[in-house]
Amino acid sequence: MNSTTTGRAAQSGSSGHRAERSDAVRNRGKLLEAAAEVFAERGTEASIAEIAERAGVGKGTVFRHFATKEDLLASIVIDLVDGLAGTARRLAQDDDASSSLYDFMATGVELLVRDRAFCEVVGEPSLADDRLRSAIARLVDQVQVLVSRAVEQGVIRPDLTGTDVVLLLAGVQQTAQPLLTAHPDLWRRYLRLVVDGMRFNGDPLPALPAPPGGLTDDLERWRA
């Protein structure tokens, strides 16, 4: 959990209001930790009451730190997305484009497999928090680096994009989902199959519409 991104915490700085109290900081930490666990296990429909209970605080405390349930959920998912973007950035150091792209996808799918709420949120953009959208845009950007390198090295078909790869993560997870409890590693089978499909072999894919927005257009990026 790299929770620097955390809350709209101490907006200190300007007029010298008192600093944030220590118990408040501690509770927000417990809250984020508990919420991450509960959302991962139970999905986005997990109740605030359960999160508060696991954190060992009252319900009121939840809403003092996060305006709404969606706000709390977004904070957590954004952290996950940013973490994944960090993985992509780190893997971009590696020379072997093929294996680094594969490793990235394996990391991503594994994350999705272990976190129900993450799956639901990234698979259904209706929960369209702006911060989340830009986090996804950052992720797509990082992945695009991996993809471009792989295309240059000729190890995947040239019409693939970072968006494709990110979307495919959720697809692979969903494929294995119905048998997940019985066969927790089944996603590897389908990841392999999808990766094999990503290798260049002649016929171009049905068109994904040309990226309409510029590089800074966050909202349009996700639909690029």
By CB under 8 A, how many residues form the interface with a second copy?
41
Q: Which stretch binds a second copy (CB under 8 A): 24-32, 34-42, 146-154, 192-200?
A: 192-200
Query: Residue 146 phi/psi, 5° resolution?
Result: -60, -45
Closer of 57 and 77 to a second copy (Cβ): 77
* Among candidate residues 28, 212, 45, 24, the one with its CA nearest the CA of residue 124: 45
* Among candidate residues 200, 204, 118, the one with its CA nearest the CA of residue 166: 118
- Can you say whether the dihedral through the CA atoms of 71, 77, 82, 83 is positive or negative? positive
Q: Is 11 in the site for DNA (CB under 7 A)?
A: no
End-to-end CA distance of the chain: 29
In the set 26, 64, 192, 215, which binds a second copy (CB under 8 A)?
Answer: 192
Buried b (16+ CB within 10 A) or exposed e, 79-92: bbbbbbbebbbebb
Q: Is 147 in the site for a second copy (CB under 8 A)?
A: no
Q: Is 6 in the site for a second copy (CB under 8 A)?
A: no
Q: Is 210 in the site for a second copy (CB under 8 A)?
A: no
Buried b (16+ CB within 10 A) or exposed e, 179-208: eeeeeeebbeebbeebbeebeeeeeeeeee
Closer of 209 and 214 to a second copy (Cβ): 209
Q: Is 26 in the site for DNA (CB under 7 A)?
A: yes
Distances (CA, A) of 5 to 72, 107, 159: 12, 21, 34
Q: Is 63 in the site for DNA (CB under 7 A)?
A: yes
- Least distance (Å) between residue 185 CB and DNA: 31
Q: Is 129 in the site for DNA (CB under 7 A)?
A: no
Q: Is 58 in the site for DNA (CB under 7 A)?
A: yes
* Contact residues for 127 (Cβ-Cβ < 8 A; gap 6+): 44, 70, 73, 74, 121
Report the site for a second copy in 152-191 (rule: CB under 8 A).
164, 167-168, 170-179, 182-183, 185-186, 188-190
In the set 2, 12, 47, 153, which binds DNA (CB under 7 A)?
Answer: 47
Q: Is 193 in the site for a second copy (CB under 8 A)?
A: yes
Give the footprint of a second copy on this chain (CB under 8 A): 122-125, 164, 167-168, 170-179, 182-183, 185-186, 188-190, 192-199, 201, 203, 205-209, 222-223
